[in-house]
Amino acid sequence: MRKALAGIAVLCLFSLVHVAPAPADDTAAVSAATKAADAWLKLIDSDDYAQSWTQASDFFQQHIPEQAWAMQVSAARDPLGELVSRKFASAKYTTSLPGAPDGQYVVIQYNSSFAHKKSAVETVTPMRNADGSWHVTGYYIR
């Protein structure tokens, strides 16, 4: 499981220490990114890993092949069991993340509970595409 989590951590491409809080005028961006993250997490929760890859950002897809993603996320999530609860904890807007191109990102954290792991923090990072849509580019569970 450690290897799978390490693989997923590589996808995150960020360190929360370097994330700046969202200015008040970025509230709409945070809201749109959170909606995209919530929809994407539903795919993960239903074990639809192939569709989660398809719905992820182009940057995500360029850095991990679909089959590798499915194996890594399955290895990390399956041992946790079914989702029991997920509560939004925080969202922070930033334009720069280590290892990623400059752009618009929102780092979102959820306090989650699973059948076999009572307390977890899921971090999901959507990025804004040139067309204005938001797609997940990073996912990490600790």
Let me know: does 84 contact 113? Beta carbons within 8 Å.
yes
- For residue 11, pLDDT beyond 50: no
Which pLDDT score, from 0 to 100, does residue 130 have? 86
Residue 3 has what pLDDT? 45
What are the pLDDT digits (tens) for 26-38?
Answer: 899 999 999 999 9
Q: What is the per-residue pLDDT across 94-140, written as a single tens digit (0 to 9) for each?
A: 999 988 899 999 999 999 999 999 999 999 999 999 889 999 999 99
Contacts of 28 (CB under 8 A, 6+ apart): none
Identify which of 100, 72, 62, 56 has the alpha carbon closest to the alpha carbon of residue 5. 72
The full set of domains in the chain, from first to last, is 2-141 (3.10.450.100)
pLDDT for 7 equals 42
Strand, coil or helix: 57: coil
